[in-house]
Amino acid sequence: MSTGPLIPSAVALLAHKRLGDVVDALDRKTGGGLYDAFFVGTDTVVVNDTERRVLGLARAAKAMFEAGPAIDAPASLRVGQPRHAA
């Protein structure tokens, strides 16, 4: 039973989506700021070296995924389209 390019393409799309999620989340965290410490008040966000390294690796991997030529797909499909900050 052959699935052709369907399974590898789906895995690549999911990996790209998850890398984007990781980059977005760590960008928000490393952007500094405060978080709500419930009844105590607010405290500053602490970012360790491992998180900075993971962010760098995730950015590099995401850039590799996006390095090829763009596909010709309608914008409503949201596949192969670069994500823009809203």
The two tokens of residue 58 are 């995730």
Output DSSP code: residue 40.
G
pLDDT tens sequence across 13-62? 899 999 999 999 999 888 877 777 676 777 778 889 999 999 999 999 99
pLDDT tens sequence across 57-86? 999 999 998 888 777 777 776 665 555 544
| pTM beyond 0.85, yes or no | no
The two tokens of residue 15 are 């990996």
Q: Parse the chain into domains and list their residue ranges.
A: 7-67
Which of 79, 83, 63 lies closest to 71 in space, CA to CA?
A: 79
The two tokens of residue 9 are 């393409």
Spell out the alpha helix ranges (H) of the chain: 6-30, 49-65
- CA 43 – CA 34 distance, rounded (Å): 5
